[in-house]
Structure 1
Amino acid sequence: MSKILIIDDEEDIVELLKDSLESKGHIVLTARDGIKGVEMAKKQPELIILDIMMPGIDGYEVCRKIRDIVLCPIIFLSAKQSETDRIKGLALGGDDYVVKPFSLKELLARVEAHLRREKRAVFLNETGKRVFLNFGKLTIDLRSRQVRINDILVALTKREFDIIELLLLHPGQVFSKEQIYEKVWGYDAEGDSFTVTEHIKNIRAKFSEIDPDTQYISTVWGIGYRFEKLK
């Protein structure tokens, strides 16, 4: 049983999805506009289904506002079918993109697949807070601030770990060099985004020494970097 948030202004779609998900035992929260959706996201759902074209603030803006407070998968729903729209949604932190009109069976299957992947990747401590994240051969221990690949400890500096932690907590989301610098070094730090490039280069080299066959951090040209979702 998982808590799922649906943010969509189309009543018929909301009711259809709500009934279908509840019949599978999930707890379903709903919001009919973007502003309410941002508020409901604070309830920390385990998955969000987010429409793009809504009155007020659209789904892109909702995603931008909530991505720093929620770690769960976000599935975009949209009548927009262009590659540009898909890339924009995924770059903002979306995990999937489903075009309207959609197959209900396919959407439900995608929901379950994302939920399964999240449960495989996350280990919680007794207070319900994230402690371990697993991505393929890589494991990060947020409590001890250690990263291992094939159970081999990767020797990371504090800043390198901070970058990895940021990317791994938002797998698949693209961060610009400027965003990474601000989040890791702080808004008032003296320096520039070139520092991020050098740190990413060092992280990749350390990862490659242990696992040369896997690309963990991808460069999204013209935008920034993202951690690849690994099974």
Structure 2
Amino acid sequence: MKQTIGIVEDDPNIRDIVKAYLEKGGYHVNEMESAEAAWELFQQAPPDLWVLDIMLPGMDGYEFCKQVRQSSQVPIIIISAKDEEIDRILGLELGGDDYLTKPFSPRELVARVKRQLTRWEAMNKAAFPADKEILQVEGLILYMEERRAFWNEEEVEVTAKEFDMLKLLAQNPNRAFSREELLVKVWGEDYFGSDRAVDDLVKRLRKKLVDIPLETVWGYGYRLREDGVES
């Protein structure tokens, strides 16, 4: 799966150039012209790395960086026409991982993106060794042996039944399960309660994992959507 880069830049010429070089480098790119649009993306489907301009209309890059760092350590590369030392220091102190002054070489930016993503992957592997069984769908990550659930890089406390439901749906992305199927597979064949238990559990998961693409299949049941995977 391609890694996704979020470009936040109000100059369309710079956006187009950066996007072209990143796509040539093998990355998927989401481009935005404001921090407000970027914040919406961050809450719904955050990219693997941000390329962030500082001087933006409305919310500036410093404030966006500060808000992101309240809940995520995803890499941020700041690009800015401000080349004073105090500007670079402020950008790094607010959570930027790298700082590139305009005008810059697009090839150098791609190299820095690669370096930051390599560093980020190494940190994650150190925290969670690769030999452990992992399920991942969109922003959901399940560590099977430890029965730990993460949503958009934040650990979420889930009950045993909630984890079993997430596991089943994550193992079968985009497949629609009926309420009856879910009762049997999650609660067991000897469960004689109402299928209302399924609805209640889904409601709790949606509250804990805000914006998770856990969709209702009306008149039938539920599915966990994964973009780019056929049903």
* TM-score of the two chains, using structure 2 as the length reference: 0.54
Question: How far, CA to CA, are the matches of 1:5 and 1:57 in structure 2?
Answer: 16
Structure whose CA Rg is larger: 2
Query: What is the distance in 1 between the residues matched to 2:49 and 2:74?
Result: 5
- Show structure 2 runs of 5+ residues with no match: 149-231
Code of the residue aligned with 1:100 in structure 2: it is K
Unaligned runs of 5+ in 1: 132-140, 144-231
Residue 22 of structure 1 aligns with which residue? 23
Identify the residue that residue 109 of structure 1 maps to in structure 2.
111
Counterpart in the other structure of 1:67: 69
TM-superposition CA deviations, 1:5-48 (whole Å, max 9, x none): 00010001111111111122211111101111111122121110
CA shift, 1:130, in A, is: 8.4
Is the CA contact 1:9–1:54 (under 8 Å) kept in the aligned structure 2?
yes
Q: Deviations over 1:68-90 (max 9, x none)?
A: 23321100010101111111101
Partner of 2:203: none
Give, in angstroms, the shift of residue 66 of structure 1: 1.6
Structure-1 separation of matches of 2:34 and 2:6: 12
SS in 2 for 1:72: coil
**Separation in 2, partners of 1:7, 1:76:** 10
Give 2:134's match in structure 1, choosing from 121, 126, 142. 126
Task: Give the share of equivalent positions with the same residue, in percent.
Answer: 41
CA distance in 2, matches of 1:17, 1:106: 11
Instruction: Tell me which residue corresponds to 1:12.
Output: 13
Match of 2:78 in 1: 76
Does the Cα contact within 8 Å between 2:25 and 2:110 map onto a contact in 1?
no
Counterpart for residue 100 of structure 1:
102
Q: Which residues of 2 match residues 1-231 of structure 1 at below 5 A? A: 1-42=2-43, 43-123=45-125, 126-128=134-136, 129=141
1:102 alignment partner, SS class: coil
- Matched residue SS, 1:122: helix
SS at match of 2:103: coil
User: What does the per-residue CA deviation read over 1:99-137, in whole Å, with 9 as the maximum and x for residues that have no partner?
Assistant: 000111111111111111112221355134387xxxxxx
TM-score (norm 1): 0.54
Contact 2:21 2:107 in 1 (8 A): no
How many correspondences in the alignment?
134
Separation in 2, partners of 1:62, 1:121: 23
Distance 2:49 2:25 in 1: 14
Give the 3 Å change call, closer, same or farther, for CA 107–130 of structure 1 in structure 2: farther
Code of the aligned partner of 2:102: K
CA contact (8 A) 1:122 1:130 kept: no
Q: Tell me how far apart the structure 2 counterparts of residues 25 and 81 of structure 1 sit (CA, whole Å).
A: 29
